Structure 1
Amino acid sequence: MSIGAVAWMNAETLARPFVVSPPRDSARSEAADEARRAADFAEATDEALMRSVAMGDEAAFRRLAARHAARTLALSRRMLANAADADEVLQEAMLRVWVNAPHWRAEAAFKTWLYRVVVNLCLNRQRHKSFAPLDDAAEVPDPSPSAQASLERREADAAVARAIAALPDRQRAAIVLTYYEDLSNAEAASVLETTVSSVEALLVRAKRTLRAELRAQSDDSGSRT
């Protein structure tokens, strides 16, 4: 697979179900073999798929990419708070899966290795980060109680996203990995290549900073009303 063949992939294409095209009469046997391989890949572990990817198996790569695209994109968006940058990180991370597969060693779970790649790519982009706020002008006001509650939830979520985006790099990574990606402190430590105690310290500082930032946002909002 060429670099160009990976570059066109985005969140939508990678997240599509893995399917086999209907067989043509002239290729029925080949299609049947492909269908059997697809079924095998559906049950294969990430590590088994990586071994196939290492041998240049594009079908195994697509299955692996489809399996992890949604979570990879979600992690990128929470780290970067920018949809366009997150989509680029997704593409680059999957390209690294393909390129590095022959050299990959199963010293940690594939997901841990992939998250490490994604977090490092995100941190490398942080000095050029930008926050994309909600476009309130594009919405038609709805005075119903349910709409008001929904708006308040969105505003609260946006406030949290802004506060997380403002955290120092490793504090932000620790929060996202443990609270949003549901990794244990030990798994987060493996992703960040540090100790469990260091992750715990990062989380303590991050939560303290978030509380202060959210309080400041609330006070600022109240002073303008």
Structure 2
Amino acid sequence: MSQATAPRLTPADLDRLEALLAADHLKDSMTLDALQGLFCAVASAPSPIPQEEWIEAALGEHTFASEAEASEVTDLLTRFYSDTARDVAAEEGLDVLSYPAEEGEEELAVWCEGYLVGVALADPDWFSAGDGETVDELLFPFMALSGRLKEHALESGAPWEGGEAEAKLMNDARDSFYGTVEEAYQYWFDNRINRVPQKREGDKVGRNDPCPCGSGKKYKACHGAG
């Protein structure tokens, strides 16, 4: 069954996927909100990303308990991706999944972390195929709400204003988030690089390797987090 004709996930299907990914042997897997962010970025990417790459990013280091479990998880992930890709392209837009946040935490942070993992999978095309200023603007809400913008500024010694200035920046990011999800998809739809996805022959980025974004952190603690 192709992704285009796969039946939509029901609430029961999402509950089942959530339960499967909560198993100890799949503990490095993303949560549903991070998965939706990842899949949204993959669907929005300027060039196709091979399925095996985004499934690997979704699951992290893992070992399935059985072939049946592997088949079920892969099917549910593929259908979740298909739903996300259809919805972000639809006029009605994407119904964003999020979990209630702890006090002081950002509700959309995990979703945005997942999105940035998808952006990293599309590197370097995400940054080289479009206008640099426009790409930075499109990434702003995801970088801000994930905490990466502040983190990178502090680590690089760049100026960072806290207090009211930071609160305003975060409010601006929240206000622009939903519209930017659709705008990013449309921008790359209009500037898409039409080529068949190729499996990368070089070494894959391991979760303990340095993140390719240049932060200096391990991949699992940076764009591989979720």
TM-score, length of structure 1 as denominator length: 0.31
TM-score, length of structure 2 as denominator length: 0.31
- Structure having the higher helix fraction is 1
Say which structure, 1 or 2, has more relative contact order (CA 8 Å, 6+ apart).
2
